[in-house]
Amino acid sequence: MAAAGAAGHGPLAGVRVVELAGIGPGPFAAMLLADLGADVVRVDRPNGGGLAIKPAYDITNRNKRSVVVDLKAPDGADRVLDLADRADILIEGYRPGVAERLGVGPEACHARNPKLVYGRMTGWGQEGPLAPRAGHDIAYIAVTGALGMIGAPGEPPAVPANLVGDYAGGSLYLVVGVLAALHHARATGAGQVVDAAIVDGTAHLASMIHGMMAAGGWQDRRGANLLDGGCPYYGTYETADGQYMAVGALEGQFYEEFVRLLGLGEYASARKDVSRWGDLREAVAARFKTRTRDEWTAVFEGSDACVAPVLSLREAPHHPHLAARGTFTDHSGITQPVPAPRFSTTPTAVRSGPAMPGTDTADVARDWDVPDLLKGSAGPEGSAELDGSGEPVGSGELVGDSEPKSNREPKSNREPKGSTQ
């Protein structure tokens, strides 16, 4: 594995980012910026938690520093505005209107720092009929059509964890957006608001598919297309030991090598003959069931057949290619992916483990020249305590319902019911 803490601070060294604590795509986006070298200060809540695990294991908070600010305290908003005044980027993931009510919305921040890039991470976006409603990754990708594309025909759509919506359609688009806005701010002196909605990003991810569908090259149903498992040489197959192999032999030369190594040379001419795809799929499935995953991995080793073993999360770090590249590292006792992508001149690294709430308040107050940050500081909080439900006490929820619970009004005072909190 790669050595953790290697020299190098990344291409964003010198960029200052304020992250208003939440969970989900916002913290992951902030981690990406931190991995690239930005000085990310996470503003945690008193007694607040993130995921329902101890903070020491939440690697989305690696390479960051943490301060604790109570935004409901009389001077809480001022402490955040002091940080925003010295920051290049601010990221928040509250429902629309919440940051404004807390006194740290775009208008208040830009009054202090006109160059600030204000990144807003939500599921539904800042506008639209669903903007004030709660939601999670699965709902966001459902309405965009992305979820409906994944899975076998005749079966429920397969849930791709929260990778497609939260992280691909959310975090990555927020990072692209705030960095583009930062480039503009440095050129013009004008900051702006970046509205990163998971529904927008996820829909955008399917741009190529929409083009193929318009051209008649994609059927609007699962398991009927070249890239969704409908093609017998682009999918997964079970092996003799109950494991799986992934096949992606799309191009002619790769397909020829695939059927040759599989021992199905008689199907060399079946690649473009859709009428034979049913027989081809059955033959491929039967062949893969004759050997174990490791045995088939050895068969395809060193070939261009585009076949790979399907590994678990625990197995992945030990794959020879990933091990050779140092794709994973061990830091603070946790095996984790190294920062990506890689830079030839400004290398990145896992410089520090997950930021523990409040442990960096004094250092940030000094480094960012915000001495008032120390006033009424809650100090370090070793780990979030769990209540009887197993949820961190005082924790927020994922995008779509991410105002700190301690900041929510009683339900009777919410207008409309269930919205904007």
Q: Are 407 and 72 spatial neighbours (Cβ–Cβ below 8 Å)?
A: yes
Q: For this structure, is 401 an active site residue?
A: no
- The Cβ of residue 274 has, within 10 Å, a number of other Cβ atoms equal to 12
Q: Are 299 and 261 spatial neighbours (Cβ–Cβ below 8 Å)?
A: yes
Q: Are 91 and 119 spatial neighbours (Cβ–Cβ below 8 Å)?
A: yes
Catalytic pick among 44, 136, 200, 228: 136
CA–CA distance, 143 with 147 (Å, rounded to integer): 8
Q: For this structure, is 279 an active site residue?
A: no
CA–CA distance, 129 with 126 (Å, rounded to integer): 10
The DSSP code sequence of 11-71 is TTTT-EEEEE--SSHHHHHHHHHHHTT-EEEEEEPTT--SSSS-GGG-GGGTTEEEEE--T
Cβ-in-10-Å burial (0-12, 13-18, 19+) of 17 comes to buried
CA–CA distance, 358 with 66 (Å, rounded to integer): 5
CA–CA distance, 96 with 400 (Å, rounded to integer): 9
Catalytic pick among 166, 200, 360, 401: 166
Active-site residues: which are they?
136, 166
